[in-house]
Chains A and B, each alone.
Chain A
C-alpha cells in the first residue's frame, strides 16, 4: 500500500473515532438529562467516552505519521497559530468579562468552537501558501 492510500485509510479511521467520540459525548449529555437518573450509569458513560477519546487521539497521532514533511509543516504552523490565538483571544475574552466590558460570561464551549475554526482556517491558508 503506498503512502497516499495509507493516508486515506488512516483519515477514515480518524473520522470514525471522531464521530464515535462526538456521538458518545452527545448521547451522554442527552441521556444524563433525559434517559437515566443514576450516577453509576453516568460514570460508566464518562469512562466509555474517555476511552473513545483516547482512541481518537491515537488515531490522530497515527494519521500524523502518514504526513510527509510539507504536510507536517503545514499542520505545525496551523497548530502554532491556533494555540497563540486561543491563549490571546481566550484571555482577552475572560478579562473583558472581569472588567465588565462584555456582559456574557465566557463559556468553555465558545473556546472549543473558536479553536476548531482557527485550526481549519489556518490549515487552509497554509496549504494555499505552499501551492
Chain B
C-alpha cells in the first residue's frame, strides 16, 4: 500500500529509530512500511496518524 510515512516523518525531523520508539514497533518495521513492503496493523496506523496529526486515509493510500 502506498503511504506518506517517509515524507511526514522527515517533515517532523524524526529518524526511523525515533519514530519506531514513539510508535512501539521495530526500526525494521518502519523501514518496511516506508518501502511499501509491509502494511501496518490498524492500531499502528492509528498511532502513526495521531502522531503526524493527520487521518489514516491521508497517510495510507488504498489501491483496489
Docked Cα-Cα span, A3 to B21, in Å, equals 8
Q: Does B41 contact A (CB under 8 A)?
A: yes
Docked Cα-Cα span, A61 to B48, in Å, equals 28
Docked Cα-Cα span, A71 to B40, in Å, equals 12
Docked Cα-Cα span, A127 to B40, in Å, equals 16
Q: Does A110 contact B (CB under 8 A)?
A: no
Contact A130 B26 (CB under 8 A): no
Contact A69 B28 (CB under 8 A): no
Docked Cα-Cα span, A28 to B41, in Å, equals 45
Contact A131 B31 (CB under 8 A): yes
Interface size class of A (residues with CB under 8 A): 10 to 19
Complex interface: chain B residues within 8 A of A68 (CB): 24-26, 29
User: Which of B24, B28, B44 lies at the interface centre, i.e. has the most chain A CB atoms within 10 A of its CB?
Assistant: B28
Q: Does B37 contact A (CB under 8 A)?
A: yes
> Which listed residue (B24, B28, B37) contacts A3, Cβ 8 A?
B24
Question: Nearest Cβ in chain B — how far from A2, in angstroms?
Answer: 7
Proximity bits, B18-43, A CB within 8 Å = 1, else 0? 00010011101101100001101100
Docked Cα-Cα span, A127 to B25, in Å, equals 15
Question: Nearest Cβ in chain A — how far from B13, in angstroms?
Answer: 21
The 9 closest A-B pairs by CB, nearest first: A70-B29, A68-B25, A130-B32, A68-B26, A69-B41, A68-B29, A130-B37, A70-B38, A130-B38
A-B residue pairs in contact (CB < 8 Å), sample of 13: A2-B21, A68-B24, A68-B25, A68-B26, A68-B29, A69-B44, A70-B26, A70-B32, A70-B38, A71-B28, A73-B38, A130-B32, A130-B38
